[in-house]
Structures are given as structure tokens and as C-alpha cells.
A and B are shown apart, each in its own frame.
Chain A
Amino acid sequence: MNFKMVEQNIKIMKHGCHKQRCAVVCTIILICVFLQCDKQHNGNQQKSDRVQITYWCSSNQDEIDLAKYLVDRWNASHDSINVQLQPIPASQSSEEVLLAAIAAGTTPDLCSNMWPGAMDDFISSGGLVRLDQFPDFVDYISERVPADLLETFRAPDGHFYQLPWKSNPIMIVYNKNIFHDAGVENIPRTYSEYIEAGRKITRDIDGDGNLDVWMSHRDTKPIWWQRFFDYYTFYIAASGGKTLFDGPEIIFNNEASVKVFDFFQRVYKENLFAKTTFVGDAFILGKLATQIAGPWHVSHVEKFRPPGFEYGIFPIPVPDDYQGPVYTFGDFKNISIFSTTEHPGATYKFAKYLITAEADLKLLEYTLQMPIRKDLTGNPLFKDFFMKNPNLVYFAEQAPFTRGMDGVSDLKEIFDAISQEYEACAIFNRREPAEAIKNAAERARVIIEWNRSR
């Protein structure tokens, strides 16, 4: 270090000091202002004579388009109630976003992406409005929704906090060409028939030693929500419409669950379900004969199928000894009103508008998802639509025979436990079905015991 340099520096220091310090202070202030700015963005409510409602819809593009259409039509004809549309902020899951919003008090007036499985959390946090406080609610909704299905949406305290809106019944979509080529004449109804068909279909076509066609494919990662589309769907079918719980009691440790686990263990053991990951959509590419899917998938297939590709739809297979109508999983999404709303009456009016027959028709047209409605195939309003989309008639007919999630707050954890037992039993073949179900039920019991100590 050079003394002269330093002395010079000291002199410069004293003169240039002031300016430098000011610059630094200014920069810091600017940054703070900027940081505060984005906070204020969130609180912009216009005060006017009109009632202003915020409506959150799903971040799915089709649903955003639908919501925009419905909201614009409403705003055009309702001067006194103005609806502002916002897609749910995207994140890992919309339940997280909603719970965080409830905690922070930043909820909208209503949201149409309410998952029944999270209802317990929403209700216990006090974030939702009781819908049956509106005098016409029960009558109005009973006209639309079948009674037994409606009961599944009633909260443990006897009240309704959700307005049943739409469902996605899960069925099997199949490739007619593959079935024909493999000599499978009849649509499989039972597990045995399905596995028989699978054995005929899963084979090496071009003789290179590798399988080219499989019966089906499922994501084998033990992520809790993946089970909705294999175990849970088949369980609902096999048990004749039961869910995991009956009130507060665990009921899934039954024969039906064991049969379902056994079925999946068999299909994976015989390699009928592919374990590899595919590049691109394997069903459209003709590598899979069937796929467990909802109406959205059918619209996807319709859009992207190559010429000559013929497909059909049939209900979920059931155990060999099963008799009766086939139930399935319907991934329900409902509408709820939040307790932070300043205009419950107006919001309720808008919510009712969202489930009118005309709105339901738009729901079908925009998203191909099924409104939860009794008279889907009977109502003349929908006739044209179903004539243009004959495959969706299957889903419409299945719609009354669907079940959703239990509104239990430990659902994620329980499905997580089931997923792990499923993985050990079906995918890796290291556990027998009966034992796996027993473990899963035991873990579920521990989870509930722990979480319900109130």
C-alpha cells in the first residue's frame, strides 16, 4: 500500500464524500419504494355505487375462456353487480393457493375451482359461507343434482358449503384398431376379461424382441394424486360406489380394495401395463390399447388422432363377481363463496347463474366437462351438443354414477400412504395385496388419530 496514494485518497474522500453518500442513500430509498409498490398492487378496490365481485376460475385455458364468456354476458345484462374475473394464481396446487389466501384474508368473493377433498380444511378455517342459509338453496340444488350424490357434498356439521358444479367421470378409452387386430371381439367388463384381452394385445409386433403394444399405462410414481386415476377409480367401481370413509370411519380396508390391488399387481406382473415412460402421447401413437381417462382426454384424442384412428369408450372394469351399475370416480370441482365477501346475496345470485342450463351448455361446449346435472341426456337443450359429440354421451350417462373425494383434511397424507403401499405391492411386487391394504388402513388410522386430537 502506497502512502502517497492513501494520502491523496484521504483528501479526495473528504471532498467527494457528500455526493457519494447522497447517491447511496437515494438508491436505497428507490429500492424501498419499489418494494413497497408491488404490495400496493394487491389492494386496488374501486369504490362505486355498483357492487363489485371478484370471481376466481381455474387456470386451465378452456375454463378461462368459458369464464370470460359467462362473465361478459353477466356484466352486459347486470348493471348493479359487476363481476371481475381472475384465474387462480398458478402454483403447485390451487388448494394451497386458496388456503394461503384464506389465511391472509385475500380471498375472492367466489371461486369455481373448489376441490371437495379440501373442504374440511376450508371449512375449519372459517373461510367459507354456509350456502344453505339462502332459503332457496336446497330446493334449487336438489332439482339439479341426484339426491345420493348431493349427500356426499354435505359437510360433517350438516350444512352445505359447496355448490356442485362439474365432474369428470373417469372411464376407459380404447383403440378399436388394436382390439380388432388382436382378435378381441367383446368389450371387457370384468377383471378377468380385461386381463384376457390384455394378454392377447400385449405383444411384440415387429419381432425385434421388444414389446410394441401394451394394454395400458399409468404413471408409477407414488405421488398421492396419481392414485385417483387407478386405485381410487377402480375401488369406487369395485365397491359399488363407496369411498374411503363413511363419515369419520375408515372403510376402505375391505374386499374391494384388496381386489383392486390384486388386479393392478397382476397387470404389472404380466407386463400388461407398461412401466417405461414414453416419449409423446403413447395412446395416440398406437402403443397403448386402453387408457384410463376423463372427457378432457377424449377431446385431446379427437384433436390429435391420425387418420384412420378409431376409438371408443367403456366403463371401468369390475371384479368378476360384481353385479350392478358401474360407478366411477368423478373429479368434481365445485363453487364456493368465501366468508370475506361483502356481498353474499349478490355473489349467490351470480353463483346460481353459473349453474343454469344455458351456462351448463357452455361448460360442455368450451371444456367438454360434465355439469353435475340430472337431466343431461334428457334435456332438449343439450341434444344438439351430444349429437355432435356422441362419445361424450357415455360420460353423460356415467355422470350420475360418480363419487368424489371424502372431505377429510388428512386426505393427502392418506393417499400418500396408500400410494406407497400400492407402489410396494403392484409396481414392485414386494407385498401381497391383503397385507398392503392392511398397512395402508393402519397408517391412515394413525394419521387420523394424530390429526384429530382436538
Chain B
Amino acid sequence: MEKKSSIWVYFTLAFGGLIFAYPFLWMLSATFKPEMEISEIGLMSANFSLDNYRAVFNKIPIGRALLNSIFVSSCVTFSAVLFGSIVGYALARLRFWGRELILGVILFTMVIPFQITLIPMYILMVKFGWVDTYMALIVPGMISTFGILLFRQFFLDIPQDLIDAARIDGCSDLTILFKMFFPLSKPVIITVGILSFMGSWNDVLWPLIVVRVRELMTMPQMVTLFKVGGQAESQIGSQLAAAALLAIPIVIVYAFFQRYFIESMATSGLKS
């Protein structure tokens, strides 16, 4: 009886796996096929070529967009971890008037849908003169309230005695944070890092709003405009090739850090 249900389970999972994997495989193979053969179910073709990719590289500076995305996402991640840990530490381990107030404010802002602040944020960028600069892409993402809360949660569990011992030795709070807490906080750092990086990398709406100049566009933004703006000239192969190029970096990272990705999302989900 047990064995029978096992086979059925594997079959279901395999079928599910096929549903999730095949479209990607199809997409990948389609990018290598000439335009006429794309509308086929099968993966193979006699005419594999790199033409579609060449077309993409010829039409849009996608390499530059890749670099932009890497630069922006790295900055955002770095600062989210940095400031998240600093503020998280303050909220977790330091006592000062207004601490609970700030915590309450943070929780409150997480409830506000971003739809309200989107337009004024854009206007702010215009007033600061940050439209079409890296500043507009990076600065609004520099602090992640989620990151702050995750760090705070984690830091709450560190025993007070360790901190007291360090204080008596004359260490400042920043020292305690970076030299003592950080090595112990690898899971949180990785979680916040991955979430920030992914969130920043995949964000399209904000770059669409604040960046109009090609040199500064992020990769998802550029691929979006490539498709929507008609430069692809309804060449499906080129569109799919651009999409594939966009997917590859994060899939590569995913392949290596897959466990961390999944665990990060799971823990963050639980915490909320």
C-alpha cells in the first residue's frame, strides 16, 4: 500500500516539475531557433544559432544595463545590511527615550501601501535633481525596514552579559556591533542580503519612473522597454533572448546559493 502511493507522489511531483521547468527550457531553446521555428513544441532544431542574441546586443546596451543592475543592487544590499544592523542593534540593545516610538513607526510604515508614496517620492527625486542619476535608484532603497526588524529580532537573543563584558573593556557600540555581533549573525546577514538584492534587482516600476536615460537603466527596465517600446520590432526571438539574458545572472546566483534563498524567504515569511 505504501509503495503504491509513493509512485503516485513521484508522478505528481514529476508532472509538477515539468510544468515549472519546461517553459524555461522551451524559452531557452527558442532563443536559439530562427524566427520561423519558434512556434513549435519541441526543443530541438537543426538551425541553432546565436542570431537572436546578436540582435539584442546590437540594439540595446544590455551589458551596460547588467553592470548598472549589479552596481545598484550591490549598493542597496550593502547599505541595507549596514544600516539595518545599526538601527536593529540600537532598537534591540540600547535603551533610550523614543525607542518604542521608533519601533511603532517602523511597524506602522510597513502597513502603508507604497502606492501612496510613489508619486511624491518621484517628485522628491525631481526636486533633488536626482532624476536620471544613480542616486535616485539607490538612495530610496538604502534602508529596509524589514531588514531592521530581522536584525532586531536576532539581536534580541544575544545575552546581555556579553555586551556588558565588552563595555567594561571600553568598546563603543559600533565596535560591539561589527566585531562581535556580525560574526554571530551570518544567517540574518545572508537573509537580509538576499532579500535586498533580489528586491532591488527585480524592481522595474521605480527605475521606469526615475530613469529615462539609457546609460543608467537597470537590466529588467531595459528589457521591458526593449519589448514594450517596439525596438524588438516584434521579433519574438529577440524578445525571448533579451528575457533569457535577464534571467541568467540571478539563476546562476540561485544555483549556488539556492538553499539560502529558500531559507531566507521562508524565515522572512514566518517572521511577518
Establish whether residues A13 and B179, one from each chain, have CB atoms under 8 Å apart when the complex forms.
Answer: yes
Any A CB within 8 A of the CB of B184: yes
Q: How many residues of A contact B (CB 8 A)?
A: 29
Establish whether residues B162 and A6, one from each chain, have CB atoms under 8 Å apart when the complex forms.
Answer: yes
Establish whether residues B213 and A35, one from each chain, have CB atoms under 8 Å apart when the complex forms.
Answer: no
Any B CB within 8 A of the CB of A181: no
A1 to B132: give the CA distance in the assembly, Å. 48
Residues in chain B near residue A22, CB distance under 8 A: none
Establish whether residues B166 and A10, one from each chain, have CB atoms under 8 Å apart when the complex forms.
Answer: yes
Pick from B15-23, B35-43, B44-52, B92-100 the stretch touching chain A.
B35-43
Residues in chain A near residue B234, CB distance under 8 A: 277-278
Establish whether residues B134 and A38, one from each chain, have CB atoms under 8 Å apart when the complex forms.
Answer: yes
Interface string of B159-194 (1 = CB under 8 A from A): 100100110011100111011100110000000000
A97 to B131: give the CA distance in the assembly, Å. 12
Establish whether residues B129 and A104, one from each chain, have CB atoms under 8 Å apart when the complex forms.
Answer: yes
Residues in chain B near residue A9, CB distance under 8 A: 179-180, 183
Residues in chain B near residue A277, CB distance under 8 A: 234
Expressed in whole angstroms, the minimum distance between the Cβ of B179 and any Cβ of chain A is 4
Any A CB within 8 A of the CB of B153: no
Pick from A88-96, A191-199, A403-411 the stretch touching chain B.
A88-96
Establish whether residues A10 and B180, one from each chain, have CB atoms under 8 Å apart when the complex forms.
Answer: yes
A1 to B163: give the CA distance in the assembly, Å. 13
Any B CB within 8 A of the CB of A279: yes
Expressed in whole angstroms, the minimum distance between the Cβ of B95 and any Cβ of chain A is 21
Interface string of A1-41 (1 = CB under 8 A from B): 10000110110111011001100000000010001001100
Expressed in whole angstroms, the minimum distance between the Cβ of A398 and any Cβ of chain B is 25
Please classify the interface of chain B as helix (H, G, I), strand (E, B), loop, or mixed, using the class held by over half of its residues: helix
Q: Which residue of B lies closest to A90 (CB)?
A: B214
In the complex with contacts A91-B212, A100-B131, A279-B180 CB distance below 8 A:
no
A453 to B129: give the CA distance in the assembly, Å. 29
A17 to B166: give the CA distance in the assembly, Å. 13
Expressed in whole angstroms, the minimum distance between the Cβ of B125 and any Cβ of chain A is 11
Expressed in whole angstroms, the minimum distance between the Cβ of A418 and any Cβ of chain B is 20
Any A CB within 8 A of the CB of B240: no
Any A CB within 8 A of the CB of B126: yes
Residues in chain A near residue B169, CB distance under 8 A: 10, 14
Any B CB within 8 A of the CB of A280: yes
Residues in chain A near residue B166, CB distance under 8 A: 10, 13
Any B CB within 8 A of the CB of A446: no
Expressed in whole angstroms, the minimum distance between the Cβ of A99 and any Cβ of chain B is 10
Any A CB within 8 A of the CB of B135: yes
Establish whether residues A89 and B179, one from each chain, have CB atoms under 8 Å apart when the complex forms.
Answer: no
Q: Which residue of A lies closest to B228 (CB)?
A: A92
Residues in chain B near residue A96, CB distance under 8 A: 212
A12 to B169: give the CA distance in the assembly, Å. 12
A9 to B158: give the CA distance in the assembly, Å. 15
Q: Which residue of B lies closest to A3 (CB)?
A: B162
In the complex with contacts A13-B171, A14-B170, A7-B165 CB distance below 8 A:
yes
A39 to B136: give the CA distance in the assembly, Å. 12
Residues in chain A near residue B129, CB distance under 8 A: 39, 104
- Give the interface centre of B166, B174, B180, B212 by most chain A CB atoms within 10 Å: B212
Any A CB within 8 A of the CB of B268: no
Expressed in whole angstroms, the minimum distance between the Cβ of A56 and any Cβ of chain B is 13
Establish whether residues A1 and B229, one from each chain, have CB atoms under 8 Å apart when the complex forms.
Answer: no
Establish whether residues A17 and B179, one from each chain, have CB atoms under 8 Å apart when the complex forms.
Answer: yes
Residues in chain B near residue A1, CB distance under 8 A: 158-159, 162, 184
A7 to B138: give the CA distance in the assembly, Å. 38
Establish whether residues B171 and A91, one from each chain, have CB atoms under 8 Å apart when the complex forms.
Answer: no
Residues in chain B near residue A92, CB distance under 8 A: 212, 225, 228-229
Interface string of B192-216 (1 = CB under 8 A from A): 0000000000000000000011101
Residues in chain A near residue B132, CB distance under 8 A: 100
Interface string of A87-115 (1 = CB under 8 A from B): 00111100011001001100000000000
Establish whether residues B134 and A35, one from each chain, have CB atoms under 8 Å apart when the complex forms.
Answer: yes
In the complex with contacts A10-B166, A279-B38, A279-B39, A35-B184 CB distance below 8 A:
no
Residues in chain B near residue A38, CB distance under 8 A: 133-134, 216
In the complex with contacts A6-B162, A10-B165, A279-B39, A91-B213 CB distance below 8 A:
yes
In the complex with contacts A10-B180, A38-B133, A92-B229, A97-B171 CB distance below 8 A:
no
- Partner of A20 from the list B178, B213, B225 (CB cut-off 8 Å) is B178
Expressed in whole angstroms, the minimum distance between the Cβ of B7 and any Cβ of chain A is 41
Give residues in A with beta carbon < 8 Å to B: 1, 6-7, 9-10, 12-14, 16-17, 20-21, 31, 35, 38-39, 89-92, 96-97, 100, 103-104, 277-280
The 3 A-B residue pairs with the shortest CB-CB distance in the complex, in nearest-first order: A13-B179, A91-B212, A89-B213
Give residues in B with beta carbon < 8 Å to A: 35-36, 38-39, 75, 126, 129, 131-135, 138, 158-159, 162, 165-166, 169-171, 174-176, 178-180, 183-184, 212-214, 216, 225, 228-229, 234, 236
Q: Beyond A13-B179, A92-B229, A97-B212: 15 further Cβ-contacts under 8 Å?
A: A1-B162, A1-B184, A6-B165, A9-B180, A10-B169, A10-B179, A20-B179, A35-B134, A35-B135, A38-B133, A39-B133, A91-B214, A96-B212, A279-B35, A280-B36
Task: Enumerate 23 A-B pairs (CB-CB under 8 Å) in ascending A order.
Answer: A9-B180, A9-B183, A10-B171, A10-B179, A13-B171, A13-B179, A14-B169, A14-B171, A16-B179, A17-B175, A35-B135, A35-B138, A89-B213, A92-B212, A92-B228, A92-B229, A97-B212, A100-B131, A100-B132, A103-B126, A279-B36, A279-B39, A279-B236
